[in-house]
Amino acid sequence: MRGVEVDIERSRAAGRVIARLSTAVEPDAFTDERYYPPADADRETVAMYFLVMVAMDHRLSRPGRPYRAVIGDEVYEGADLLYYLGARRLREDPEFFTAERLSKANESDVREWLSVPGQASPPDPGVRASLLRDLGLKLLRLYGGSAYALIEESGHMLRRGVADGFIDRLKVFKAYQDPVEKKAFLLAKFLERRGVVRFLDPENKEVPVDNHLVRIALRLGMVKLSSDLMEAVRLKRHFTPWEDIMLRLAVREAYRIAASEGGIDPFIMDDFLWLFGRRCCTREKPVCRAGCRAKCSAIKGCNGGCSLAPVCLAVNNDAFMVTEHMYLNTWWY
């Protein structure tokens, strides 16, 4: 792709190391009731909950306006706060997670649901309400209001025929139309891990490419940018939609190569990478610069130095120590 290149050999080398490190991370069952439906919830409830919550899982924090709140003695931020508020709504008002209710969602509904007064509020409640209405109306018209029916109609396949698999069927919904399919594969990961579905074509799995995974890939050198795009990252110039798509598709391909080389399920790889990005290879204070931290050490992400240092360009070259590219006004990621 113009301006973006996948380094195949570096991706393979990274895959071998990541596969070894990922064994230290117990796959999340997504049953923690602070964030998710209880383990004994029926499959329709689980499928609908995650269909709605992943649709909302984009760009919660903005520069100078973190999505963060203190509730009780706990601090919740970003996705943690989103899913905390989702699970609370499921307990208090389970009918909210029905196609009929979603089809009538408005901006004030979203603001009330996803806000903590005086602390946090979603940056785009109107957009989110539109996505919920679209989701509810199309579920009613196409699947009788059932999220599980969508899974059944896919034949438990991620890809099937021209557009009959789970990933492509999701694209009828506005919330799931991003070209890199980040939300779609995140939803697939949640549903498979919860036992709602076992996809029969695991060869078609991809990592859900979020900002943590992009940052790690750029720092490791798995994906390299042209000088003008790298300068845009450093100067925090906003990427165009096409530049963003190019970058994320390249990152997805690099991790596909890494997963194949390491012999690891891309969804399991994503568990490790997401935690590694949040705890170790953070935007401002990666462990290679700030020193090993307990949360990073707990996932074997550091032991004195960073565990990915042997396959990282940024550890010895500040030119690759990027934070993340700027592409904010979207509901794709």
Q: What is the per-residue pLDDT across 51-110, written as a single tens digit (0 to 9) for each?
A: 999 999 999 998 889 999 999 999 999 999 999 999 999 999 999 999 999 999 999 999
Looking at residue 324, the DSSP 8-state letter turns out to be: -
Q: What is the pLDDT of residue 64?
A: 87
Q: Is the pLDDT of residue 1 over 90?
A: no
- Beta strands 74-77 and 305-306 are unpaired
Residue 74 lies in a domain: yes
Tally the domains of the chain. Answer: 2
Kind plus residue range of the DSSP H or E element containing 217: helix 211-220
For residues 333 and 247, which has the higher predicted lDDT (pLDDT)? Answer: 247
Q: Is residue 34 part of a domain?
A: no
Sequence letter at residue 295: K
pLDDT reported for residue 16? 98
Domain membership flag for residue 274: yes
Same domain, 18 and 48: no
Same domain, 74 and 102: yes
Q: Span 41-58, mean pLDDT?
A: 98
Q: Are 167 and 158 in contact (CB under 8 A)?
A: yes
* Together in a domain, 244 and 284: yes
Kindly report, residue by residue over 133-143, the tens digit of the pLDDT.
999 999 999 99
Domain boundary among 118, 133, 153: 153
Same domain, 145 and 212: no
Q: For a pLDDT cut of 70, what percent of the chain falls above it?
A: 99
Q: Does residue 331 lie in a domain region?
A: no
Domain that holds residue 218: 4-26+206-320
Q: What is the mean pLDDT of residues 28-54?
A: 98
Instruction: Answer yes or no: do 112 and 15 share one domain.
Output: no
Do 242 and 314 lie in a common domain?
yes
Give the pLDDT mean for 231-244. 93
For residue 238, the cross-strand partners are: 326
Residue 177 lies in a domain: no
- Assigned domain for 100 exists: yes
- Same domain, yes or no: 8 and 64: no
Note whether residue 226 is domain-resident: yes
72 and 19 inside one domain: no
Residue 117 lies in a domain: yes
Q: CA 24 → CA 179, 190, 282, 286, 309, distances in Å? A: 32, 20, 19, 20, 17
Burial class (CB in 10 A: 0-12, 13-18, 19+), 203: exposed
Q: How confident is the model at residue 2 (pLDDT cuts 50, 70, 90)?
A: low
Among candidate residues 118, 135, 153, the one where a domain is terminated: 153
- The verdict on 97 and 17 lying in the same domain is no
Say whether both 20 and 60 belong to one domain: no
CATH number at residue 220: 1.10.1670
Give how far the C-alpha of residue 249 lies from the chain's centroid of Cα atoms, to the nearest Å.
Answer: 14
Q: Supply the DSSP symbol for 202.
A: G
Q: Which of 1-5, 57-61, 178-182, 205-209 has the lowest mean pLDDT?
A: 1-5
Half-sphere exposure for 255 (CA within 13 Å, toward CB):
30
Q: Whole-angstrom Cα distance, residue 105 to residue 321?
A: 42
Residue 329, pLDDT above cutoff 90: no
The rounded distance, in Å, linking the Cα atoms of 20 and 126 is: 44
Query: Same domain, yes or no, for 81 and 119?
Result: yes
Q: Are residues 304 and 224 in the same domain?
A: yes
Q: What is the pLDDT of residues 142-179, one digit of tens each?
A: 999 999 999 999 999 999 998 899 999 999 999 999 99
Task: Render 266-284 in DSSP notation, one character per residue.
Answer: HHHHHHHHHHHHHHTS-SS
- Average per-residue pLDDT in the chain? 96
* Mean pLDDT of all residues in 116-123: 96
